[in-house]
C-alpha cells in the first residue's frame, strides 16, 4: 500500500477488461499495477547492449551495482532466447518511436537498509523527452529496484520477479526450534528435528542480505508464550509449565511459565542476539493460541496469581507479554503481536501493531475496526492464508479484499499498515511450497500495492496468466492461474518462450 508512480510507454490493451484474448496480446503488462500509469500506442526497440548509467549528482548506494547487473542480466537473457541472430527486443505494440540505448538513473538519497519508513517511490519515463533514453528517478535505491522491475515487465516476454517487500519469518514453532543460537545453543540442539535441520546465523545473514539487495525486509517471529513445545528441552526445567490432572502431574507441558524470572532472562539473552542478527526495526512477538488450561491446573501458578492479585489468566498472559515488550523497548525494537493479545484484553500500548488472522468468513472486519478504533496499528492476514486450498480458482477471492473495508473512520484507515499473505508449513515442503504460493500470492501483492480501485478479477485474469508464464520462464514452478488449457483451449496456456514443456530455453 505504498505510493508508486510510473509513466510508461507500453501495452495498448489496458482496457481489454474481461475479453478472452490470446495471452500473448497481454505481453508487456505490469504486475502489480502502479498507482499511476500513462500508456500510449507506441512501442520502443531495445538495443542488445543497453547501458545503465547513474547520473553524476546521484549518491553511490552500495547495492546499485548489484541491481544494475541483475536487471542487465534479465534483459539480455531474453535476447538469447528470442533469437540467436536478434539484436533488438520490442518494448510494446503499434508504431515504433525509437531505439533505447541507455537507462539513466537518478537517485535522491541512499537509505542502505530497508525499513518500515523506506521510500519506494519512483518515476519512469520512456521515450520522452529523449527517444534513445529511459529516465528513472527514485527517492532511494528501493525505487530503482521497482522502477527497473516495471521497465523489464513492459518488455515483451521479459522475466518476472514477484513484488512483495517484507518476509515475515515464523522461524520457530512448537514442532521444532531450528534457529541455531550462539548464546543459547541448547535450544536448537535439543529442540530442532535434528542437528542438521537448523538455520545457522551465517545462513540467516545470507538470507537477509539476499533480501536487502532486492529491497525486502526480513521480520522474524519468535512466538511466545504458546507454540513453544520445542523450546522446552533447551529452555530448562522451569521454562514450560507442567500440567496437572486431579492434582497430579500428567507428564505434559503447556505454555512458557510466566512466574519465573529466569525465563524472562533467557528471552532477553535470546532477543539481544536476535537484535544483532535481524537488523529490521520490527520484531514479531507472537502471542496467538495460548491455552490457559495448563496454567489453570498448576497449583504454583494459582498461588502466584493469588499473591499478586491476578484474577484472570489474561492478566497472567499480560504479565508475560509486558515482559517481552519491555525487552523489545530496551533493544529499541518495534513489535507486532497476533490478535489474541488484543482480543483477550491484554493491556497493550498504542505502539503495539496487531496482526489480525482470524475471521476469514468476514468477521475480520469487526476485529480490524476494534483494533484501529482503540488506536492501534493493524496488519490484515485473515483473507490471505495461502495454505488453505480449494478446488478451482481461489486467487479471485483474494483480489477483491480491501483491508480498510470495515466502516472505520479516515483516522482508523490510516492505522492500517497493510496485509500479509501467509503460507504455513503443515502440508508443504520443498516439493510443493513454490507451486502453492505462486501465482496466488501475486494477487495479494497487487491488491496491497496498487490503487484500491484495482480489485476486479476480470481485467486481471489474463495479466496474471502472463505473470505465471514469466515465472515458468524464470524456473519458478508456479501453478496455473486460470483454467487449464486441457479443459478449455482458450484458457491458461503459455506461448513460446514460456512453456517449459515446449521450450528448450527454459531459464533457471
Cα 52 to chain centroid distance, Å, stands at 28
Element (H, E) at 112: none
How far apart, in whole angstroms, are the C-alpha atoms of residue 318 and residue 154? 51
Angle between helices 313-330 and 261-277 in degrees, nearest 10:
40
Give me the pLDDT at residue 429, please: 92
Mean pLDDT score, 500-507: 40
Query: Is position 101 annotated as part of the catalytic site?
Result: no
Q: For 401-457, give the DSSP string.
A: --TTTTT--HHHHHTEEEE--B--STT--TTTHHHHHTTHHHHHHHHHHS-TT---H
Q: How far is CA 194 from CA 176, 191, 199, 232, 353, in A?
A: 9, 8, 11, 15, 34
How high is the pLDDT of residue 436? Answer: 94
**Ranges 192-201, 221-230, 334-343, 498-507: which has the least confidence:** 498-507
Average pLDDT over residues 306-325: 95
Contact assessment for residue 28 and residue 10, using Cβ atoms and an 8 Å cutoff: yes
Q: pLDDT over 90 for what percent of the chain?
A: 66
DSSP string of 300-348? HHHHHHHHTT--SHHHHHHHHHHHHHHHHHHTT-EEEEEHHHHHTT---
Indicate whether 373 pLDDT > 70: yes
pLDDT tens sequence across 152-204: 888 764 433 448 899 999 999 999 999 999 999 999 999 999 999 999 999 99
Q: Give me the pLDDT at residue 121, please.
A: 94
Cell numbers at residue 139, please? Answer: 527517492
- Is the preceding omega at residue 39 within 30 degrees of 0, hence cis? no
Mean pLDDT of 375-388: 97
Q: Say which residue the cell 512453456 belongs to.
A: 499
Task: Quickly state the pLDDT bin for 304 (edges 50, 70, 90).
Answer: very high
Catalytic residue among 186, 262, 289, 351: 289
Residue 290 C-alpha cell reads as 495460548
Per-residue pLDDT, 239: 97
Distance CA 279, CA 287 (A): 22
Can you list the pairs that 402-408 forms with residues at least 24 positions away whose Cβ atoms lie under 8 Å?
Answer: 402/447, 402/452, 402/455, 403/1, 403/368, 403/378, 403/448, 404/452, 405/365, 406/364, 406/365, 406/366, 406/368, 406/369, 406/372, 407/365, 407/369, 408/368, 408/369, 408/372, 408/373
pLDDT in tens, 18-74: 233 344 344 567 888 888 887 765 667 777 788 999 999 999 999 999 999 999 888
| Closest of 128, 127, 148 to residue 137, by C-alpha | 148
Half-sphere exposure of 41 (CA within 13 A, CB side): 2
Average confidence (pLDDT) over 199-218: 96
Q: What is the tens place of the pLDDT at every residue in 104-159?
A: 999 999 999 999 999 999 999 887 777 788 999 999 999 999 999 988 888 764 43
Query: For 437-470, what is each residue's pLDDT tens digit?
Result: 999 999 999 999 999 999 999 989 888 988 888 8
Contact criterion met (CB below 8 Å) for 100 and 133: yes
pLDDT per residue as tens digits for the range 469-494: 888 877 889 998 887 655 555 555 67
Amino acid at each position: 500500500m505504498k505510493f508508486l508512480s510510473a509513466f510508461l510507454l507500453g501495452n495498448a490493451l489496458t482496457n481489454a477488461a474481461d475479453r478472452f484474448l490470446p495471452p500473448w496480446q497481454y505481453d508487456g503488462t505490469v504486475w502489480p499495477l502502479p498507482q499511476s500509469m500513462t500508456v500510449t500506442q507506441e512501442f520502443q526497440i531495445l538495443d542488445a547492449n543497453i547501458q545503465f548509467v547513474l547520473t553524476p549528482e546521484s549518491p553511490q548506494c552500495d547495492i546499485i551495482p548489484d541491481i544494475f547487473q541483475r536487471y542487465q542480466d534479465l534483459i539480455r537473457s531474453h535476447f538469447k532466447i528470442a533469437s540467436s541472430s536478434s539484436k533488438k527486443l520490442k518494448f510494446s505494440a503499434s508504431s515504433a518511436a525509437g531505439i533505447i540505448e541507455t537507462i539513466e538513473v537518478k537517485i535522491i538519497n541512499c537509505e542502505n537498509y530497508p525499513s518500515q519508513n523506506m521510500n519506494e517511490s519512483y518515476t519512469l519515463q520512456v521515450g520522452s523527452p529523449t527517444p534513445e533514453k529511459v529516465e528513472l528517478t527514485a527517492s532511494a535505491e528501493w525505487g530503482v529496484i521497482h522502477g527497473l522491475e516495471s521497465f523489464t515487465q513492459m518488455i515483451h516476454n521479459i522475466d518476472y520477479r514477484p513484488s512483495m517487500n517484507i518476509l515475515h519469518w515464523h522461524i520457530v514453532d512448537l514442532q521444532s526450534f531450528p534457529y541455531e543460537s550462539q548464546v543459547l545453543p541448547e535450544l536448537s540442539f535439543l529442540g530442532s528435528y535434528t542437528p542438521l535441520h537448523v538455520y545457522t546465523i551465517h545462513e540467516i545473514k545470507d538470507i537477509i542480505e539476499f533480501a536487502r539487495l532486492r529491497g525486502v525486509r526480513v521480520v522474524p517471529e519468535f512466538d511466545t508464550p504458546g507454540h513453544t513445545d520445542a523450546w522446552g528441552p533447551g529452555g530448562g526445567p522451569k521454562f514450560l509449565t507442567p500440567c496437572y490432572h486431579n492434582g497430579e502431574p500428567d507428564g505434559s507441558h503447556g505454555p512458557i511459565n510466566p512466574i519465573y524470572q529466569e525465563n524472562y532472562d533467557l528471552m532477553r539473552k535470546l532477543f539481544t542476539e536476535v537484535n544483532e542478527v535481524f537488523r529490521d526495526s520490527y520484531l514479531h512477538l507472537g502471542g496467538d493460541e495460548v491455552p490457559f488450561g495448563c496454567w489453570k491446573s498448576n497449583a504454583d501458578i494459582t498461588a502466584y496469581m493469588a499473591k499478586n492479585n491476578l484474577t484472570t489468566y489474561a492478566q497472567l498472559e499480560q504479565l508475560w507479554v509486558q515482559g517481552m515488550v519491555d525487552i523489545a523497548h530496551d533493544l529499541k525494537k518495534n513489535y507486532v503481536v497476533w490478535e489474541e493479545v488484543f482480543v483477550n484484553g491484554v493491556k497493550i500500548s498504542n505502539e503495539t501493531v496487531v496482526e489480525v488472522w482470524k475471521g476469514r468468513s468476514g468477521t475480520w472486519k469487526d476485529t480490524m475496526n476494534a483494533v484501529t478504533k482503540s488506536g492501534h496499528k493493524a496488519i490484515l492476514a485473515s483473507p490471505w492464508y495461502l495454505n488453505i486450498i480449494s478446488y478451482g480458482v481461489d486467487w479471485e477471492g483474494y483480489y477483491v479484499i480491501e483491508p480498510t473495508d470495515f466502516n472505520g473512520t479516515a483516522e482508523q484507515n490510516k492505522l492500517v499498515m497493510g496485509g500479509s499473505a501467509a503460507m504455513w508449513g503443515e502440508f508443504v515442503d520443498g516439493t510443493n511450497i513454490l507451486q502453492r504460493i505462486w501465482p496466488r500470492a501475486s494477487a495479494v501483492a497487487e491488491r496491497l500495492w496498487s490503487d484500491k480501485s484495482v480489485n476486479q478479477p476480470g481485467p486481471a485474469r489474463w495479466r496474471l496468466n502472463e505473470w505465471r508464464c514469466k515465472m515458468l520462464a524464470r524456473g519458478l514452478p508456479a501453478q496455473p492461474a486460470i483454467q487449464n488449457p486441457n479443459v478449455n483451449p482458450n484458457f491458461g496456456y503459455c506461448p513460446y518462450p514460456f512453456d517449459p514443456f515446449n521450450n528448450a530455453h527454459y531459464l533457471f
